[in-house]
């Protein structure tokens, strides 16, 4: 026996993306009168290129294969995470492939300052999954800054509301990750992606997420929660994985 969803009863039921109960229909509260996420208009149409940890760490493919992001734009390395006293620097493509992906509970890096140049240099440095997400996100910001992808990713403000993305295909230049990329109508819309409420506040940006994460990696922070920071970094890496554009959620 199927039960019809009742928009406005405060219960998210099949067919609804959200349900804010007594606030149903309040303009700008994040949930429309149809129980759909209200789209963050300031982000609509924005497109960026990130990769998952596995994408950055794979020996071939979109990052490290012929024509991959790191291969085309070697200047995005080195990448350093943490801070002096508890830091890791990955300086080469070979070390990056050996370093990612990383797993385990999010935590601080081990004491000391390490530089991984060759694959054989890579050792356990602590950090858990957080170090991998921060490495991946830092590389995406470097890629954006160095002209290898749509610019200003680090300055993007995190939307308080849920958002969705759709994949891109190369434009006339035949290269994925440039300004002329086109929307791929056959790619499924992903999302909605929703940041933890503790993170998407006070006009926080992608760069702010990296600051918060690196504070935890250097064992010098307690708020927001480390799991919320790790979640925010993970969302950013997933939402634009392989180059994607923000589109209305359906």
> What is the three-state SS of 100-156?
CCCCCCCCCECCEEEEECCHHHCCCCECHHHHHHHHHHHHHHHHHHCCCCCCCHHHC
- Rounded to two decimals, the pTM is 0.85
Are both 68 and 1 inside the same structural domain? no
Do 194 and 182 fall within a single domain? yes
Query: Same domain for 108 and 10?
Result: no
How many CA atoms does the CB half-sphere of 77 hold within 13 Å? 22
On whether both 5 and 50 belong to a single domain, the answer is no
Tell me what pLDDT residue 231 has. Answer: 98
Cis ω for the linkage preceding 50 (within 30 of 0): no
Is the sign of the CA dihedral 228, 233, 234, 239 positive or negative?
positive
My answer on whether 79 and 135 are in the same domain is: yes
Which pLDDT score is estimated for 75?
96
Identify the pLDDT of residue 41.
59
Which two structure tokens, joined as six digits, stand for 194? 């929703």
Provide the Cα torsion 219, 224, 229, 230; round to 10°: 70
Can you give the residue range of the structural domain that contains 34?
Answer: 1-38
Shared-domain flag, residues 64 and 181: yes
Pair (46, 26) in one structural domain: no
Question: Which residues of the chain, if any, have pLDDT below 70?
Answer: 1-4, 17, 25-31, 36-42
Same domain, 225 and 107: yes
Q: 239: alpha, beta or left, given left = phi > 0 and alpha = psi -120 to 50?
A: alpha
Does 103 share its domain with 220? yes
Q: Let me know whether 23 and 127 are in one domain.
A: no
Contact present, 237 and 190 (Cβ < 8 Å): no
- The verdict on 18 and 94 lying in the same domain is no
Does residue 85 share a domain with residue 159?
yes
Number of domains in the chain: 2
Tokens 């991984």 found at: 116
pLDDT, residue 26, reads 67
């Amino acid at each position: 026996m199927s039960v019809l969803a009742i928009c406005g009863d405060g219960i998210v039921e099949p067919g609804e993306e959200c349900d804010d109960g007594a606030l149903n229909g309040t303009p700008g509260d994040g949930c429309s009168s149809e129980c759909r996420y209200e789209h963050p208009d300031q982000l609509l149409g924005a497109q960026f290129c990130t990769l998952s940890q596995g994408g950055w760490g794979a020996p071939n493919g979109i990052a490290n294969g012929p024509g991959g992001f790191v291969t085309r734009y070697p200047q995005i390395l080195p990448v350093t995470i943490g801070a002096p006293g508890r830091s890791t620097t990955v300086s080469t493509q070979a070390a990056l492939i050996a370093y990612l992906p990383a797993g385990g509970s999010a935590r601080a890096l081990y004491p000391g300052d390490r530089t991984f140049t060759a694959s054989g240099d890579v050792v356990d440095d602590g950090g858990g999954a957080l170090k991998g997400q921060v490495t991946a996100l830092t590389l995406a910001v470097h890629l954006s800054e160095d002209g290898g992808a749509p610019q200003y990713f680090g300055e993007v403000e995190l939307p308080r509301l849920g958002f969705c993305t759709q994949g891109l295909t190369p434009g006339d230049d035949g290269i994925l990750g440039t300004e002329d990329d086109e929307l791929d109508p056959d790619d499924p819309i992903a999302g909605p992606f929703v940041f933890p409420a503790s993170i998407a506040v006070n006009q926080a940006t992608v760069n702010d997420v990296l600051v918060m994460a690196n504070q935890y990696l250097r064992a010098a922070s307690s708020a927001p929660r480390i799991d919320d920071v790790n979640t925010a970094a993970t969302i950013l890496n997933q939402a634009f994985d392989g180059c994607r554009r923000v589109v209305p959620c359906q």
